């Protein structure tokens, strides 16, 4: 089965600082998804990456999928308290017709005002 | 267009009781997925359903757990004779027909937090 490892497990940053969260896969990624989860709420879709080298941005969040398609990074610029939450990467295993995701264990982000 | 709805949001059961979790997918979505998030663990896939069909239940415990997605009404995840280890957040997601080229954006509900006393 595909395994996704996220690092760091938790992160505490001062407001305004930049930060990066990594997601490493044991197998080639054919679709990598980033979600954000706030306590008591569901997952909010952030971005999806499919092509090696692809980079997408939404507001102050940028995600990249490396050329070899086994690692993705999520970068937040000038963090704000509203960025706090748990960030999860999810992937569809190769050969999978879309019936399930594998998720990383998550990175808990705290932003101190 | 309302998002994925789950109810109840919080459910408390005593050991041995039954828990029923409901999920209404987004309008136009015919595919439903259930995930479980145990304390201090990541989200784990449980089951994938289309209307009236279970497509993949490889992540579902073999006993006490069942799921359905009837022609009419919400999808139901049913846990019989609950035990303390069933305490977790249960998330439902829905999608339209998954793209055969792996694209599959799933929209998640807010989850049901089950506590077994």
For B64-103, how does the pLDDT look when each residue is reduced to its tens digit (9 = 90+)?
999 999 999 999 999 999 999 999 999 999 988 665 545 5
In the numeric block, which tokens belong to residue B85?
A: 């280890």
Distance CA A88, CA B111 (A): 15
- Higher-confidence residue of A61 and A26: namely A61
Distance CA B102, CA A98 (A): 5
Q: What is the pLDDT of residue B1?
A: 52
Give the phi and the psi of residue A15 in degrees, each rounded to 5: -55, 135
Output the average pLDDT for chain A.
Answer: 87
User: Where is average pLDDT lowest: B2-16, B48-62, B67-81, B96-110?
Assistant: B96-110
Alpha helices (runs of H) in chain B, residue ranges in sequence order? none
Chain A residues whose beta carbon lies within 8 Å of the beta carbon of residue B100: 97-98
Candidate from A31, A48, A88 with C-beta closest to B43? A88
A5 to chain B: nearest residue by CA? B42
Chain B residues whose beta carbon lies within 8 Å of the beta carbon of residue A7: none
Task: Give CA separation, A21 vs B54, B90, B106, in Å.
Answer: 35, 25, 22
In the numeric block, which tokens belong to residue A64?
A: 């990249």
Short-list B107, B106, B85, CA closest to B38: B85
Q: State yes or no: pLDDT of B109 exceeds 50.
A: yes
- On whether the CB atoms of residues B106 and B97 are closer than 8 A, the answer is no
The alpha-carbon gap from B77 to the nearest alpha carbon of chain A, in Å, equals 17
Characterize the bridge pairing of strands A107-112 and A10-14: parallel
Tell me what percent of the residues of chain A surpass a pLDDT of 90. Answer: 53
The band of A16, judged by pLDDT with boundaries at 50, 70 and 90, is very high
Q: State yes or no: pLDDT of A97 exceeds 90.
A: no
Q: What is the mean pLDDT of residues A60-85?
A: 92
Q: State yes or no: pLDDT of A55 exceeds 50.
A: yes
């Amino acid at each position: 089965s595909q395994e996704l490892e996220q690092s760091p497990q938790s992160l505490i940053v001062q407001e305004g600082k930049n930060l990066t969260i990594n997601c490493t896969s044991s197998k080639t990624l054919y679709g990598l998804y980033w979600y954000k989860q706030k306590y008591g709420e569901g997952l909010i879709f952030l971005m999806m990456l499919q092509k090696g080298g692809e980079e997408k941005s939404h507001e102050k969040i940028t995600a990249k999928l490396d050329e070899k398609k086994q690692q993705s990074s999520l970068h937040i610029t000038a963090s704000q308290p509203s960025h706090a939450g748990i960030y999860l990467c999810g992937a569809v295993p190769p050969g999978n017709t879309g019936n399930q995701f594998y998720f990383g264990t998550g990175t808990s982000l705290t932003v101190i005002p | 267009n309302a998002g994925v709805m789950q109810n109840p949001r919080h459910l408390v059961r005593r050991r041995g009781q039954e828990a029923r979790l409901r999920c209404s997918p987004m309008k136009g979505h015919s595919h439903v997925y259930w995930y479980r998030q145990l304390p201090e663990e990541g989200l784990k896939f449980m089951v994938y359903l289309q209307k009236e069909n279970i497509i993949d239940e490889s992540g579902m415990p073999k006993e006490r757990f069942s799921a359905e997605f009837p022609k009419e009404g919400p999808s139901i995840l049913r846990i019989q004779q609950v035990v303390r280890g069933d305490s977790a957040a249960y998330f439902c997601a829905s999608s339209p027909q998954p793209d055969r080229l792996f694209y599959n954006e799933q929209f998640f509900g807010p989850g049901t937090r089950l506590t077994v006393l």
